[in-house]
Amino acid sequence: MNAILLTQYGGSILGPIAKVLGWIMNGIFWVLDKIGIPNIGLAIIIFTIVIYLLLMPFTIKQQKFSKLSAKMNPELQAIQKRYEGKKDNDSMMAMQQETKAVYAKYGVSPTGSCVQMLIQMPILFALYRVFMNVPAYVNQVKEAFFPMVEKLANTAGSAEFLSNSENFSNAAMYAKQFTNEAFTSGNAEYIQNTFIDVLYKASTSEWKNLADHFPLATEITDTMQKMEHYNNFLGLNMGNSPSYTVHEAIAAGAWLMVVAGLAIPVLSALTQWLNVKLMPQASAASSNNDNSSMAASMKMMNNVMPIMSAVFCYTLPSGMGLYWIAGSVVRSVQQVLINKHIDKMDIDAQIKKNLEKR
């Protein structure tokens, strides 16, 4: 089955990045399997640490830019005030030159922070694509679905059953694949890939519903057990959402599992809040109304982000929540180290060096 390529994201920008990240994820899972702990949750944590360590040079540059920006903002505001209301060409050119000189003095570019963000954002978005469809990038997880998916694809009514949103809540995400010419013409590989895309995101109850409707109970149960083994992390199934886990636990009276299910969104909100607090904050004292408004908007966004993180993590698969928690923890540790590094930075010496270069 190694020759089968599942439905990887095919975007022109994120697609190739996701493929490279998929190779890394596949390698991590392979190593974990060799040492006897093939676990998707653990692979996600290690993968997150590796990616954020690779991005650390960009993060340092971004934070250094923020530190220097705080130092040079009074000079930029003084220039803006000096030329306030002057719209003639000479004044505009002079203002532009003086502003450019300040940036050169501090050795930064006006677009410095944006460049770092533009480099990092495609990588982080591609990361999401890998986590949302692990079988497409991790060989062993893909192989866990065989031979069950081959037999299921050849069973009458299976396509209609898997494409029905009443049976699989994530089926709507793949509606176009079920109507694609490759699917309708009977391309076996494409049909199997589409089935795995849906089944990977299936909850435990959806797997059981599948077993009840098709005469493949043994194959379906074996595959479900393999996926539960891969997805089990500290007692939680990374394929199930916390909302599903809590609902099932309440019905069964398993209150410890209710607490475990709520731990993912709660920890996501707490680590996000900690991450925000450690980030360099813009100064509220500013004579520029635009800057004050921007600072107020950023403050409101920072307060809302942990709440939104908890809401999303409650409804998405626990694996995504674990990734967000791991990412926030890694960023927080990075931020503490970066803050110590930047606080030791001699800004005056940096300015003198930049002036000498000029």
Tens digit of pLDDT for each residue in 229-254?
898 888 888 877 898 888 888 988 88
pLDDT at 28: 94
Q: What is the mean pLDDT of residues 345-358?
A: 70
Whole-structure pTM value = 0.74
pLDDT at 315: 86
Q: Residue 115: is its pLDDT beyond 90?
A: no
Q: What is the mean pLDDT of residues 196-214?
A: 87
Look up tokens 């797997």; give the residue. Answer: 207
For 241, residues 6+ apart whose C-beta sits below 8 A from its C-beta are 203, 314, 315, 316, 317, 318
pLDDT at 4: 36
Q: Residue 36: is its pLDDT beyond 70?
A: yes
β-sheet bridge partners, residue 232: 237
In the chain, how many H helices and how many E strands? 18, 2
Q: What is the mean pLDDT of residues 11-37?
A: 87
pLDDT at 5: 41
Angle of the 40-54 helix axis to the 56-82 helix axis, nearest 10: 50
Q: What is the mean pLDDT of residues 318-337?
A: 85
Percentage of the chain beyond pLDDT 90 is 19
pLDDT at 287: 43
At 75-93, the pLDDT tens digits run 888 888 888 888 788 888 8
β-sheet bridge partners, residue 298: none
